Amino acid sequence: MEGQGRTAERGERSRRFLITLEDLDSVSDDMDSEMVNHNNEDEENEQDDGDLFAYWQDVGRCHQVDVPRDMEEPIQQMTRNNQSQERQAVPFTSLGHKTKADEPLYEKRQYEKAKWACVTQNEPRYEQSICMGFMKLMKYICQQNSSGLYLGMTLPIVTIVHTNHSRLELLPGVTIAYYLPPQFQDQVPQPFDTDIAIEEWPAHVIYTRSFNGTTNEEVILREINNLANHLDSPELFLQDTFIVAGYNNPAAPNRHNEIWFIQRP
């Protein structure tokens, strides 16, 4: 019973940080202030750091993913930096909306040419691929790059997914992508991890529809088909490649996500 009590206490303390692996927005808006108050006692900070890493390990186990010890420093660094630096939005130009009875059906956007750090994973389960890919990107963002700098968070973090012809199944292999902040677009810090590729994505038009909640395989397929049903000319878009964009921590009470359809060039 004593061990169970310690586990429950650790779980409760960890929930203050609201950090998960599933979504690529890695830092909670509701993180306990003791993690960013540098006047706290060192012993208390060390305990908080241990709880934070333990929580990531617990979440990883839920997705059948091992969170290695070398993730402890990136987790702590991103957590603290995220409290003192504003998250930057990926820039775009809105080209219009479509609504029905005051309900937004989709938005049309123009994204300009830009560089992204991308990692592709082919794990048996979607959630495993997301976890593994995000951990690699976290290390890149947290100084494991040729500049030696913390690069800063940008939103959304996007995941490129592929479906079968009927759009009833997600295919193996997903790409997790992080938009390089504007100050690094011209001189891109190179990743130490050879699994991470720096790609220049061309300017493109996307149609996007928002949804709230979790982002598992079932939900993603449902939202892909929901947006397809609202498009006037679905043949103008890529038919088997879509993007899931995440803006909030999964533990947030009202998570904001989007499905993106990519218009053919």
Least confident of 16-20, 59-63, 107-111: 16-20
More confident residue, 148 or 66: 148
Given a cut of 50, whether residue 79 has pLDDT beyond it is yes
State the pLDDT at residue 242: 97
Q: Which domains does the chain have, with CATH numbers?
A: 2-84 (no CATH), 88-263 (3.20.80.10)
Please, is 131 exposed, middle or buried when counting C-beta atoms within 10 Å of its C-beta (0-12, 13-18, 19+)?
buried
Q: Report the percent of the chain where pLDDT is more than 90.
A: 50
**Tens digits of per-residue pLDDT, 18-59?**
333 344 344 344 333 333 343 444 444 444 555 766 766 666
State the pLDDT at residue 128: 80
Whole-prediction pTM value? Answer: 0.76
Mean pLDDT score, 82-97? 82
**Tens digits of per-residue pLDDT, 112-131?**
999 999 999 988 888 788 87
